[in-house]
């Protein structure tokens, strides 16, 4: 079927704005909204209770979704996760105990390195699970069980809605795993499922920051390097933010774990380099705030993405603060994806790049 841009200037803008809808649709597939429980997919060939660990493999944005999932699986289900980019995993010859779960995340389901990793894990007698958007893809076909994202066709080369749908699937799976492993009580599950169902509504709120982000992007477009910082599940988001910006604006950006700053990159800080800090007011906020103060003390220009409590507790002067809705910690990665995507998008629009078809990039990388 033909997909058009509707009233949007680019597919990427349309896809960013579709997120509350497609995330709701995806979540409805994994959550029972009457019983307030997760829905275990029919014919699931393994039980999370019997797993020793999960191995996750993916590329690019899908890899960052997997990294967020590592935080969820380990915290909510006490299930250890090994994760690597597919181009490394496939040549590492990782020893795997038979009967383990190998999870592959891919929008297209055709990424060559991810597929090669899948075949390696199959030969090593793993259960093969795939979080895919294209259900008729090779990765979907070669998997034992598919966890579909219901994002609809994603046309923009920069992945947006596929990412938040991947996160929605993986968060639901982590809650399911936590329940099956007896880490979460029925009450815990109910509370987490309720939080997940609120994601689309909070995404709608986050989208309202667009005019402020557009003004800010005018400024960012002048930078030649931008640093993104985050801690905990905001760390993969920092890397995703940097990737998105690089892809479509061609501005050099790096995502770093906030605590790693003083181990090197702090040497780069001066008044010319914007530092984007992703920091919801969560358990690690105070730690991130002290990293931010280190940046401020060296004249760094801070753009803080946080909520009201975080804005009040930051203790630094920022160049700009984006005040997000106050959201439950588990769903923050989905909701905080919105300002990160909008920042990259509007910066690229200001620079006049080909947002939907950036230079040198293909939508799906089917060569090695």
Separation between Cα atoms, residue 152 and residue 334, nearest integer Å? 17
CA 18 to chain centre: 16
> Among residues 131 and 184, whose Cβ is nearest to ligand AGP?
131
> Among residues 106 and 233, whose Cβ is nearest to ligand AGP?
106
Side by side, which strands form the sheet with 301-307? Answer: 252-257, 225-230, 274-278, 301-307, 320-324
Separation between Cα atoms, residue 73 and residue 174, nearest integer Å? 5
Minimum CB separation from ligand AGP for residue 302, in Å?
A: 25
Nearest 5°: the CA angle 354, 242, 310 is 125
Minimum CB separation from ligand AGP for residue 106, in Å?
A: 3
Structure tokens at 335: 């909701």
Minimum CB separation from ligand AGP for residue 111, in Å?
A: 3
Residue 217 sits at φ, ψ, to 5 deg, of -65, -35
Separation between Cα atoms, residue 205 and residue 338, nearest integer Å? 10
Minimum CB separation from ligand AGP for residue 173, in Å?
A: 17
Asked if 282 contacts 332 with a C-beta cutoff of 8 angstroms, the reply is yes
Alpha-carbon radius of gyration of the chain: 20
> Among residues 62 and 223, whose Cβ is nearest to ligand AGP?
62
Separation between Cα atoms, residue 194 and residue 156, nearest integer Å? 31
> Among residues 108 and 291, whose Cβ is nearest to ligand AGP?
108
Asked if 29 contacts 148 with a C-beta cutoff of 8 angstroms, the reply is yes
Residue nearest to ligand AGP (CB): 60
Minimum CB separation from ligand AGP for residue 300, in Å?
A: 27
Separation between Cα atoms, residue 99 and residue 96, nearest integer Å? 9
Separation between Cα atoms, residue 117 and residue 341, nearest integer Å? 29
Question: Which DSSP state fits 124?
Answer: T
Interface ranges with ligand AGP (CB under 6 A): 59-62, 106-108, 111, 114, 157-159, 247, 364-365
Minimum CB separation from ligand AGP for residue 178, in Å?
A: 26
Separation between Cα atoms, residue 38 and residue 178, nearest integer Å? 10
User: Minimal CA–CA distance to 45: which of 120, 131, 175, 144?
Assistant: 144
> Among residues 114 and 126, whose Cβ is nearest to ligand AGP?
114
Put residue 264 in one of left, alpha, beta given phi > 0 → left and psi -120 to 50 → alpha.
left
The catalytic residue among 39, 287, 309, 363 is: 363
363 classed as catalytic: yes
> Among residues 210 and 356, whose Cβ is nearest to ligand AGP?
356
Minimum CB separation from ligand AGP for residue 347, in Å?
A: 15
> Among residues 38 and 166, whose Cβ is nearest to ligand AGP?
166
Catalytic residues: 363
């Amino acid at each position: 079927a033909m997909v058009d841009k509707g009233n949007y200037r680019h597919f990427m803008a349309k896809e960013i704005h579709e997120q509350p809808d497609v995330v709701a649709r995806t979540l409805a597939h994994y959550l029972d909204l009457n019983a307030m429980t997760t829905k275990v997919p029919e014919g699931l060939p393994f039980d999370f209770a019997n797993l020793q660990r999960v191995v996750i493999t993916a590329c690019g944005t899908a890899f960052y979704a997997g990294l967020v999932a590592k935080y969820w699986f380990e915290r909510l289900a006490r299930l250890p996760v090994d994760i690597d980019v597919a181009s490394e995993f496939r040549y590492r010859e990782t020893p795997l105990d038979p009967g383990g779960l190998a999870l592959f995340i891919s929008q297209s389901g055709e990424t060559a390195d991810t597929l090669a990793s899948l075949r390696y894990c199959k030969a090593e007698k793993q259960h093969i699970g795939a979080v895919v958007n294209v259900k008729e893809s090779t990765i979907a076909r070669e998997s034992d069980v598919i966890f579909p994202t219901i994002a609809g066709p994603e046309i923009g080369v920069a992945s947006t809605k596929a990412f938040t749908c991947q996160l929605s699937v993986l968060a639901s799976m982590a809650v399911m795993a936590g329940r099956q492993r007896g880490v979460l009580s029925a009450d815990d599950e109910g509370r987490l499922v309720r939080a997940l169902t609120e994601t689309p509504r909070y995404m709608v709120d986050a989208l309202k920051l667009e005019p402020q982000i557009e003004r800010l992007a005018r400024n960012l477009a002048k930078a030649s390097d931008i640093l993104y910082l985050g801690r905990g599940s905001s760390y993969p988001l920092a890397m995703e933010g940097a990737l998105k910006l690089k892809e479509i604006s061609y501005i050099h950006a790096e995502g770093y774990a906030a605590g790693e700053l003083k181990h090197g990159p702090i040497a780069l800080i001066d008044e010319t380099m914007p530092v984007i800090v992703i920091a919801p007011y969560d358990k690690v906020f105070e730690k991130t705030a002290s990293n931010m103060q280190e940046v401020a003390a060296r004249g760094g220009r801070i753009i803080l993405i946080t909520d009201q409590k975080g804005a009040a507790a930051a203790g630094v002067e920022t160049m700009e603060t984006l005040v997000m809705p106050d959201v439950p910690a588990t769903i923050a990665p989905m909701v905080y994806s919105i300002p990160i995507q909008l920042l990259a998008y509007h910066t690229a629009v200001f620079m006049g790049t080909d947002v939907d078809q950036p230079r040198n990039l293909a939508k799906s990388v089917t060569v090695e």
